[in-house]
Chains A and B, each alone.
Chain A
Amino acid sequence: MSHPASANRYFVPDPSHWPLVGSLALLLLASGAVLTMNSIANGGFVLMGGFAVLAVMLFGWFARVIGESESGSYNVQVDRSFRWAMAWFIFSEVMFFAAFFGALFYVRVLSVPDLASADQAGLWEGFKGQWPTAGPAAKDVFTPMHAWGIPAINTLLLLSSGVTVTWAHWGLIANKRQQLITGLALTILLGLVFISLQAYEYAEAYSHLGLKMTTGVYGSTFYMLTGFHGFHVTLGATMLIVILVRTLKGHFTAERHFAFEAVAWYWHFVDVVWLGLFVVVYWL
């Protein structure tokens, strides 16, 4: 039933079983996570099964989409639809991070100073309310993360990766495939170094700084924000690797390469989120 591409005919994909596979994956993931978090036997297996089904679904569904794209099923209108959709998807991601940034601002501006106010003096005696804090009931001492060590290097890495991915895009538009491949490879490399440094920073924080997820509201916001950001960088790097593999297979032309642009947009998005993190989580 799928229609061939033409300028004014609509494209409608054929029936597909991938949505159901995806739903099964999420049901398994959710059930597995519930079981694991409540320490019920075999929860881990259900969780793993969920990841496996999800991986199969992602491979199968994207293979299908890439096949349709390469066979020329997508006309200009479909391309425009993809652009709208990716932009709105990134907006939804922005709002997801907004929830955690909002929580950080709230505790720094409202709840922590309030816990140190005269109203609460009887309850939390001696609590100063200075940021960073693990809260008025905290007993363990911890060292907050400093901005001008690894985080500053990471900022440099991500900003440079924004440059390299743009350079790769210029190569793609100018039909310089080698520049495209080099640019993508450099971007992936910078991303992977970023993730490794972030992992090293976490290990340091846990082993030497006494900074854990359980370190009051500072630890909570620190790990929630940097953790979800790191997860998004990992996703972005994975997507970049897929784009590199497709480039090596000869996909994309100077005119038609939305998948590349979508991933580049996503990469810039994680870059911008990092800048926000660097300023309000690490620096100020």
Chain B
Amino acid sequence: MQASQHAGHAGHHEDDSHGHGPTGLMRWITTTNHKDIGTMYLWFSFAMFLVGGAMSLIIRAELLSPGLQYVSPEFYNQMLTLHALIMVFGAIMPAFVGFANWMIPMMIGAPDMAFARMNNWSFWLLPPAAILLTASLFVPGGAAGTGWTLYPPLSIQMGMGMDMAIFAVHILGMSSIMGSINIITTVLNMRTPGMTLMKMPLFCWTWLVTAFLLIASMPILAGAVTMLLTDRHFGTSFFNAAGGGDPVLFQHIFWFFGHPEVYIIALPAFGVVSHVIPAFSRKHLFGYTSMVYAIAAIGLISFFVWAHHMYVTGIPLTGQLYFMYATMLIAIPTGVKVFNWVTTMWRGSLSFETPMLFALGFLVLFTIGGLTGLVLAMTAVDIQLQDTYYVVAHFHYVMVAGALFSAYAGLYYWLPKWTGHMYHEGLGKLHFWLSMIFFNIAFFPQHFLGLAGMPRRIPDYAQQFADFNMISTWGSFGFGFSQLLVLVVVFKAMKGGVKAEARPWDGARGLEWTVPSPAPHHTFEDPPPFDPAEAHG
């Protein structure tokens, strides 16, 4: 898989001059170039997206009709666990790290990331983790079947596939921590003179906060899975009541990581959208300063709301009340952001190329996902909806229509800068509309299923859920196969097409648009002069 990616990709930079380093496969293995590494991140995440997507289609095929038809319940559980782990850690997170690698140095006028060699290691840690996760399907007992939350006691009773998942999480955590240290250092120390923090592009701001969240939360997850490991193999009792521990302890530690993780995925998505909407509205972003404070506030509050995932574990009423109000508090900075995006478009000179369509799709669907999140934040309601398909619908509106649509907005927005060619607008629009329609066919009915009481993580269901499940399954297959269009669009743009100008979008601002398309291999050998007209603030 890796080799073919490189082979397919080697032509990408052929016309660039990139010094006299190794060539061929070795170039990609040994590279210290942020663009190469960003490209590898993006291809890796797309490959994982297809793997995780195939797993979701197995899940949806099984759910097409009531009863068991294609897979065993055990395998079903393994599929939904690996689908989540691969999509979260293998697809969405690396995709935004890929954007960060490609764009942050170009946005702030740096030649590369602060630690170019370590940057490459951050990427090359991903394949071993992916190998461990996928290989775990083939060991005795199969892969982890606990759901991505890995709750004990089930995770303590699983076979060796669980150990492989634990070590995969460790390796992914190392990769994230190194990547985050790199991004924070780059943003804080490598900006061109004159670009103050409050003139910095918003994508850099979102990544600065995201990197902080990663450094603070990934070690917590590492600690949690380490305790799982010692409970499994070394006789400790962290999650065993007979020894004085508590399975709920794991949930606390996991969600202390898990809730910031939600914003680790969402914040860079916000960043991309904050670039695309002003560019296609031909206006400055409305309320830049409030956007920065909103990002920081979301990041901070995300550490104090974790037990809203645990209302039914028997936490005290005062705890439920606190976590309910704290969770609702996040709606304020998020509301500020949605308001600012809408106000940016107000009286703008709007045009609707593919990046803008995906950004608007994000705005509408992410807002729906946010509102269902508010519904779930209410303890009294959540006790009914916990572990139903309403939750599944909620977080897919946030993760897919939020993060993935934003990633597509960024992909179409910056693709001309990366390849030097305009993408095929018709295919791009087709991709958007197919995604938009099929996404809603797949996931909107799940709200109804959840409200009617259908539990998640179950391969079979009662007759009355049959119709909506069938609709959802057809929608998911449509959505899944529409995503292959991206491959066509990207390959076409890599092979040729209309030459892209340095600034193919007339409303776009930022240092990345001051260099030619495709961008030179090392963009800024010396700090470029900072033109306030390119500032976002």
List A residues at the B interface (Cβ < 8 Å).
1, 3, 8-10, 12-20, 22-24, 26-27, 30-31, 33-34, 37-38, 61, 77, 80-81, 84-85, 88-89, 91-93, 95-100, 102-103, 106-107, 110-112, 114-115, 133-138, 212-214, 216-221, 223-224
Name the residue of chain A whose CB is nearest to the CB of B218: A92
Indicate if B526 sits at the interface (CB-CB under 8 A).
yes
- Residues of A contacting B: mostly: helix
Partner of A17, one of B29, B115, B525: B29
- A220-B163 CB under 8 A given contacts A85-B181, A107-B249: no
Chain A residues with CB under 8 Å of B110's CB are 10
Indicate if B244 sits at the interface (CB-CB under 8 A).
yes
A201 to B524, CA, bound (A): 56
- A92-B219 CB under 8 A given contacts A16-B117, A220-B245, A224-B230: yes
Chain A residues with CB under 8 Å of B227's CB are 99-100, 103, 220, 224
Whether A98 pairs with B171 at a CB distance below 8 angstroms is no
A10 to B111, CA, bound (A): 7
The 5 closest A-B pairs by CB, nearest first: A99-B223, A135-B244, A217-B244, A19-B121, A137-B242
What are 30 sample pairs from A and B whose C-beta atoms fall under 8 A apart?
Answer: A1-B20, A1-B522, A3-B525, A8-B527, A15-B21, A16-B117, A19-B117, A19-B120, A19-B123, A22-B121, A23-B127, A30-B132, A30-B164, A34-B167, A37-B160, A81-B114, A84-B184, A84-B188, A96-B223, A99-B224, A100-B227, A102-B256, A103-B223, A103-B227, A107-B249, A111-B244, A111-B245, A134-B244, A135-B242, A213-B234
Whether A1 pairs with B19 at a CB distance below 8 angstroms is yes
Partner of A26, one of B116, B171, B177, B243: B171
**B 240-281 to A, binary, CB cutoff 8 A, 1 in contact else 0:** 111111101100110010000000000000000000000000
Chain B residues with CB under 8 Å of A77's CB are 189-190
Chain A residues with CB under 8 Å of B524's CB are 10
B195-238 interface with A by 8 A CB criterion: 215-220, 222-224, 226-227, 229-238
Whether A15 pairs with B22 at a CB distance below 8 angstroms is yes
A18 to B121, CA, bound (A): 8
Chain B residues with CB under 8 Å of A27's CB are 128, 131-132
Partner of A30, one of B30, B111, B128, B249: B128
- A99-B219 CB under 8 A given contacts A15-B31, A81-B189, A111-B249: yes
Chain B contact residue count (CB 8 A cutoff): 82
A112 to B160, CA, bound (A): 30
- A99-B235 CB under 8 A given contacts A88-B215, A89-B181, A213-B230: no
Indicate if B112 sits at the interface (CB-CB under 8 A).
yes
A254 to B242, CA, bound (A): 57
Chain B residues with CB under 8 Å of A223's CB are 236
B97-128 interface with A by 8 A CB criterion: 110-112, 114-118, 120-121, 123-125, 127-128
Indicate if B399 sits at the interface (CB-CB under 8 A).
no
Name the residue of chain A whose CB is nearest to the CB of B34: A12
- A16-B32 CB under 8 A given contacts A137-B242, A217-B244: yes
Name the residue of chain A whose CB is nearest to the CB of B121: A19
Whether A213 pairs with B223 at a CB distance below 8 angstroms is no
Whether B241 pairs with A85 at a CB distance below 8 angstroms is no
Chain B residues with CB under 8 Å of A219's CB are 236-237
Whether A102 pairs with B253 at a CB distance below 8 angstroms is yes
Name the residue of chain B whose CB is nearest to the CB of A38: B160
- B132–chain A nearest beta-carbon distance, Å: 6
List B residues at the A interface (Cβ < 8 Å).
19-22, 26-27, 29-32, 110-112, 114-118, 120-121, 123-125, 127-128, 131-132, 160, 163-164, 167-168, 170-171, 174, 177, 180-182, 184-185, 188-190, 215-220, 222-224, 226-227, 229-238, 240-246, 248-249, 252-253, 256, 522, 524-527
- A216–chain B nearest beta-carbon distance, Å: 4
Whether B219 pairs with A96 at a CB distance below 8 angstroms is yes
Whether B253 pairs with A26 at a CB distance below 8 angstroms is no
Whether B244 pairs with A133 at a CB distance below 8 angstroms is yes
Name the residue of chain A whose CB is nearest to the CB of B167: A30
Partner of B115, one of A81, A103, A224: A81
Whether B124 pairs with A23 at a CB distance below 8 angstroms is yes
Name the residue of chain B whose CB is nearest to the CB of A33: B167
A15 to B37, CA, bound (A): 12
Chain A residues with CB under 8 Å of B253's CB are 99, 102-103
- A10-B525 CB under 8 A given contacts A30-B132, A85-B115: yes
A27 to B132, CA, bound (A): 8
Whether B32 pairs with A14 at a CB distance below 8 angstroms is yes
A212 to B236, CA, bound (A): 9
Whether B243 pairs with A137 at a CB distance below 8 angstroms is yes
- A176–chain B nearest beta-carbon distance, Å: 32
Name the residue of chain A whose CB is nearest to the CB of B521: A1
A257 to B508, CA, bound (A): 44
Chain B residues with CB under 8 Å of A213's CB are 230, 234-236
Chain B residues with CB under 8 Å of A8's CB are 526-527
Chain A residues with CB under 8 Å of B181's CB are 84-85, 88-89, 92
Name the residue of chain A whose CB is nearest to the CB of B22: A15
Chain A residues with CB under 8 Å of B235's CB are 212-214
- A110-B241 CB under 8 A given contacts A16-B117, A30-B170: no
Chain B residues with CB under 8 Å of A85's CB are 114-115, 181-182, 185
Chain B residues with CB under 8 Å of A218's CB are 244
Name the residue of chain B whose CB is nearest to the CB of A80: B189
Partner of B241, one of A96, A111, A214: A111
Chain A residues with CB under 8 Å of B238's CB are 103, 107, 217, 220-221, 224
A34 to B116, CA, bound (A): 31
Whether B30 pairs with A17 at a CB distance below 8 angstroms is yes
Chain B residues with CB under 8 Å of A10's CB are 110-112, 190, 524-527
Chain B residues with CB under 8 Å of A111's CB are 241, 244-246, 248-249
Partner of A20, one of B29, B184, B190, B522: B29
A98 to B257, CA, bound (A): 12
Chain B residues with CB under 8 Å of A13's CB are 32, 116-117
- A38-B163 CB under 8 A given contacts A30-B170, A135-B242: yes
Chain B residues with CB under 8 Å of A18's CB are 117, 121
Chain B residues with CB under 8 Å of A22's CB are 121, 124-125
- A193–chain B nearest beta-carbon distance, Å: 27
Whether A92 pairs with B116 at a CB distance below 8 angstroms is no
Chain A residues with CB under 8 Å of B114's CB are 81, 84-85
A224 to B116, CA, bound (A): 34
Partner of A92, one of B22, B115, B177, B242: B177
A100 to B253, CA, bound (A): 9
A17 to B124, CA, bound (A): 11
Chain B residues with CB under 8 Å of A134's CB are 237, 243-244
- A214-B185 CB under 8 A given contacts A92-B219, A100-B223, A106-B246: no
Whether A220 pairs with B243 at a CB distance below 8 angstroms is yes
Name the residue of chain B whose CB is nearest to the CB of A2: B32
Whether B237 pairs with A216 at a CB distance below 8 angstroms is yes
